[in-house]
Amino acid sequence: MPDAAPDAAPDAAPPDAAPPAAPPARPSRKQPRLARRAQLVEATIRVLARQGYARTTLAEVAREAGLSHGLANFHFRSKEGLLAETLRTLWDEYQAHLARALLAAPPDPAARLDALIRADFDPTVSSPERLAAWFCFWGESQGRPLYQAHLGPNDEPLIAQFESACAAVARAGGYPHDPARVAEVLRVLSDGVWLDLTTSSRPGTLEDGLATVFLCASAFFPRHFDEGGWLGR
């Protein structure tokens, strides 16, 4: 006589029953921390633009962000730490914006140069507040090695992108100008227009600044550019 089957455990689920639902995922503790840090960085940009570097304090940034001074101090131990994070954020934002602009540009060399120039005057990275914050850091960079180290080497990829684009347009159009010199002129002019937009008593618009740089590009590459940008648009 065969052995009797063992009794089923009283709490066993039927064979075709669905497995119990997984417990809801716990919210990441890291996300609120990152969100608070981003909130403080954005507040720092606004305070820098309004009050300048010297008058920007951790307490003032906390008030601007609507947070307590203690919470701001928890995330950033000092004004220098907060400002260093703000500079990194501005730079990363700018680099990511340039990369997206180049990715979206047609393969034509002049189109890529057009995209680089336009990206410099996009309100996403060139709003009045962000421009003012950039100039605060530039003004302090000579006396602060941390800022100088971050701003100097990080310019190299941007310089290389402009030089490469100018060289490609020069080859395509048979232009005689030194591409590296043309790239330098366009970059320096863009910086000068940024400064004028930030400090002039009669500042123009981003569109005015963009037209100024394109007019300069048209002097070097007249068969590819005019005041409105790349002629192939």
What pTM was computed for the model? 0.77
What is the percent of the chain with per-residue pLDDT over 70, rounded to a whole number? 81
Same domain, 70 and 176: no
More confident residue, 195 or 166: 166
With respect to residue 164, please indicate whether it lies within any of the assigned structural domains.
yes
d(CA 138, CA 135): 5
Give tens-digit pLDDT for 201-230. 787 889 999 999 999 999 999 999 999 999
Same domain, 108 and 151: yes
CATH number at residue 133: 1.10.357.10
| 59 and 149 within one domain | no
Q: Give the residue-averaged pLDDT of 82-98.
A: 91
Count of domains observed in the chain: 2
The two three-digit tokens of residue 201, written as one number: 């008593």
Read off the pLDDT band of 20 (50, 70, 90).
low
One domain for residues 115 and 40: no
Domain that holds residue 59: 30-77
Alpha helices in 174-205 (DSSP H): 179-199
- Tell me: do 65 and 130 sit in the same domain: no
Query: Minimal CA–CA distance to 177: which of 163, 191, 188?
Result: 163
Residue in 81, 94, 90 with CA at minimum distance from that of residue 136: 90
Instruction: Flag whether 11 is in a domain.
Output: no
The single-letter code of the amino acid at 157 is P
> In the beta sheet, which residues pair with residue 226?
229
Distance CA 133, CA 90 (A): 9
Long-range CB pairs of 215-219 (<8 Å, 24+ gap) are 216/185, 216/186, 216/189, 217/113, 217/117, 217/186
Asked if 163 and 226 sit in the same domain, the reply is: yes
